């Protein structure tokens, strides 16, 4: 099906666009009262993500309500450990929690490499339904967590400020760590390929906890696995978003992907110099800028757009939109990007 709005795909590939495309990380979520209504109709986040019709409904909401140039499938990065045999729970106000963690070779033996299409059939079904219901209006983004970020949760068992258990393992059990990271990587490639077969037009890799590693650890235990995924995905454009990995921007420029996402701490000019002109940059307004009044939001957005001017760019925030931000301010951000000349 021909896309009516293919701005995102053209911008990712470095082709000419009439204007800069715009979408937001976590655009399908608590900022929208329509999302909250759907969420309240089920027992919680996991049930919503595992019900394809509902996941599709909340995926499309921001396209209708906010006017973004892309939909991103409503799911979670932690579906991969679950598909590998390590289930998790979503604890209200605390986040993800794993009743069991991975600490030894015997734990590793209980895991499998997920095949994507069958092990995560509910995400695949949600993508198929969403593609049908979008009817070519905008592209659909698929996604997965980066292997290091997934590893961090599987070893730590929950979110953490330091992920010290996971980081300890990189130092004390490097061979074991590489084995687990490779299993996650193989599962992720299978999963992303299944998403693409189902209709994802572009995929994004989220390395949410990239910034808690030092440069050497990052190169060995994260970057090389992201690189494997980028090399394997040849069917659609790939975006890599490694939050906090400012030290790895030059290496990111060499990845076999189209787009590099910048967080709001990464200087735009400096990033362009380090990453090079061959990549599209995505981002990177500080989400907190959307707490301002309409004039302040407009001004902050224009300042960001001026810095990206003349180079390959997809407008976004430097991280996910915060749940208590006024959707009207999100609309101001989107409209300002669309009107920017």
Residue pLDDT, tens place only, 296-321: 999 999 999 999 998 999 999 999 99
Inside any domain, residue 292: yes
Which pLDDT band, with edges at 50, 70 and 90, does 224 fall under? very high
Q: What is the pTM of this model?
A: 0.98
Is the Cβ–Cβ distance between 206 and 146 less than 8 Å? yes
Q: Is 298 a catalytic residue?
A: no
Distance CA 41, CA 13 (A): 39
Query: Strand, coil or helix: what is 17?
Result: coil
Task: Write down the catalytic residue from 6, 10, 35, 39.
Answer: 39
Task: Write down the catalytic residue from 153, 191, 218, 225.
Answer: 153
| Interval 250-254 mean pLDDT | 98
Ranges of beta strands (E only) in 54-184 are 71-72, 89-91, 95-97, 140-145
- Which domain covers residue 298, as residue numbers? 7-339
Q: What residues contact 70, with CB distance under 8 A and at least 6 apart?
A: 8, 21, 23, 138, 139, 140, 141, 202
Q: What is the DSSP letter of 290?
A: G
Q: From the annotation, which residues make up the binding site?
A: 26-30, 76, 153, 208, 319
**CATH (domain of 253):** 3.20.20.210
Inside any domain, residue 1: no
> What does the pLDDT look like over 138-152, one tens digit per residue?
999 999 999 999 999
Burial of 161 (0-12, 13-18, 19+ CB in 10 A): exposed
Q: Which residues of 198-215 are buried (b: 16+ CB within 10 A; e: fewer)?
A: bbbbbbbbbbbbbbbbee
Inside any domain, residue 2: no
Is the Cβ–Cβ distance between 223 and 256 less than 8 Å? no
> Is it the case that residue 1 has pLDDT exceeding 90?
no
Is the Cβ–Cβ distance between 73 and 138 less than 8 Å? no
Inside any domain, residue 35: yes
Task: Write down the catalytic residue from 6, 10, 35, 76.
Answer: 76
Q: Is 295 a catalytic residue?
A: no
Q: From the annotation, which residues make up the binding site for substrate?
A: 26-30, 76, 153, 208, 319
Q: Is 13 a catalytic residue?
A: no
The pLDDT value recorded for residue 152 is 98
Task: Write down the catalytic residue from 10, 26, 272, 312.
Answer: 26
Q: Could you give the number of structural domains in the chain?
A: 1
The pLDDT value recorded for residue 282 is 98
């Amino acid at each position: 099906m021909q896309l009516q709005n293919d701005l995102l795909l053209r911008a990712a590939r470095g082709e000419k666009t009439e204007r800069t495309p715009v979408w937001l990380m976590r655009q399908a979520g608590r900022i929208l009262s329509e999302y909250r209504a759907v969420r309240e109709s089920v027992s919680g986040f996991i049930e919503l993500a595992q019900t394809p019709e509902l996941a599709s409904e909340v995926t499309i909401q921001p396209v209708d309500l906010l006017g973004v140039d892309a939909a991103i499938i409503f799911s979670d990065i932690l579906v991969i450990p679950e598909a590998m045999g390590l289930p998790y729970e979503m604890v209200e106000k605390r986040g993800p929690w794993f009743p069991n963690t991975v600490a030894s070779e015997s734990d590793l033996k209980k895991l499998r490499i997920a095949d994507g299409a069958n092990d995560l059939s509910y995400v695949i079904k949600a993508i198929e339904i969403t593609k049908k219901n979008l009817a070519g209006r905008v592209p659909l983004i698929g996604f997965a967590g980066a292997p290091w970020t997934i590893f961090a949760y599987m070893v730590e068992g929950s979110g953490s400020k330091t992920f010290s258990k996971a980081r300890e393992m990189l130092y004390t059990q490097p061979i074991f760590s590489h084995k687990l990271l490779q299993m996650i990587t193989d599962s992720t490639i299978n999963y992303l390929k299944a998403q693409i077969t189902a209709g994802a037009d572009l995929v994004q890799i989220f390395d949410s906890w990239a910034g808690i590693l030092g440069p050497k650890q990052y190169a060995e235990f994260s970057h090389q696995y992201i690189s494997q995924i980028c090399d394997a995905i040849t069917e659609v454009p790939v975006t890599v978003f490694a939050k906090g990995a400012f030290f790895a921007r030059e290496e990111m420029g060499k990845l076999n992907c189209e787009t590099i996402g910048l967080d709001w701490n990464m200087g735009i000019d400096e990033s362009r110099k380090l990453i090079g002109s061959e990549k599209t940059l995505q981002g990177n307004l500080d989400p907190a800028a959307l707490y301002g009044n309409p004039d302040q939001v407009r001004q902050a957005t224009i300042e960001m757009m001026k810095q990206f001017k003349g180079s390959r760019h997809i407008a976004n925030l430097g991280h996910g939109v915060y749940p208590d931000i006024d959707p009207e301010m999100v609309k101001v951000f989107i409209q300002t990007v669309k009107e920017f000349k």
